[in-house]
Amino acid sequence: MRIAIMQPYFLPYIGYFSLVKHTDKFILLDDVQYIRHGWIERNRILKQAGGWMYIKVPIIKNSGRETLIKNIQINNQRNWKGKILAQLQHYKRNASHYAAVIRILKSVFEIEYNSIVTLNKAALEAVCAYLGIKTQICVFSEMGLDIEKVNAPDEWALNICRAMDNVNEYWNSEGGISFFDTQKYTENEIDIQFIRMKEVQYSQKSLGFETNLSIIDLLMFNDVKNANQLIDEFYFL
């Protein structure tokens, strides 16, 4: 079985969905420390006047420096759903698939969430359903796995693979290539692969091309077939 493990990002970038699509099981690693100013509660979309801006889910501030992602709660006192939908309205002028994307988001937003992990999983599953991606998405803290003590950053994935049945292949984004000791995986008969996205571009109906945006931007300008073709544009390092 081939798996990938990533932290639960909010409406993440295209490369994240490449990992989801091309693995048998995708695990959201939520039992690790939350790092501020990352991608857990925010992502980027086009700005109407050019460039990009953040869409954000407000979270309840926690004074603890060791707060785990699984314990991050959403601040539902703020109208974050309405704000995000309003920020996306400018796409309506030029994006052919604006209506479809808004339907996806509204189907997610109609539920009240307290946990950021629950929201992000629901958003991932909704996008995957739209794209026809069948990969099972699991939350690590809910899997009941008994893993060995982690002594180095690259051992989270290794120990999860070892605790599961029949895992013989692990995929990771290119960002992990600098700190993964691949020998550890080889010794445990796990084939580890790192993927890099090709220079994917599509028409954003504007001058130039703004890279590394949320999957939302890709879906605004591409139908399901073209979106899947672009998600498939990666190679192994």
pLDDT tens by residue, 15-66: 999 999 999 999 999 999 999 899 999 999 999 888 999 999 999 987 667 8
Q: What is the pTM of this model?
A: 0.96
Cα separation, 112 vs 135, in Å, equals 25
pLDDT tens by residue, 124-155 = 999 999 999 999 999 999 999 999 999 999 99
Tokens of 89: 């309205």
H helices within 88-142, ranges in order? 98-109, 116-131
Q: How many residues does the chain have?
A: 237
Report how many domains make up the chain. Answer: 1
What is the pLDDT at residue 63?
64
If one counts every other C-beta atom within 10 angstroms of the C-beta of residue 163, the result is 14
pLDDT band at 206, cuts 50/70/90? Answer: confident
Structural domain for 229, as ranges = 2-236
Tokens of 116: 């950021």
Instruction: With beta carbons less than 8 A apart as the criterion, state whether 179 and 155 touch.
Output: no
Cα separation, 120 vs 70, in Å, equals 11
Half-sphere exposure of 94 (CA within 13 A, CB side): 15
Sort strands 234-236 and 191-197 into parallel, antiparallel or unpaired. Answer: antiparallel
H helices within 65-221, ranges in order? 80-87, 98-109, 116-131, 155-163, 182-187, 215-221
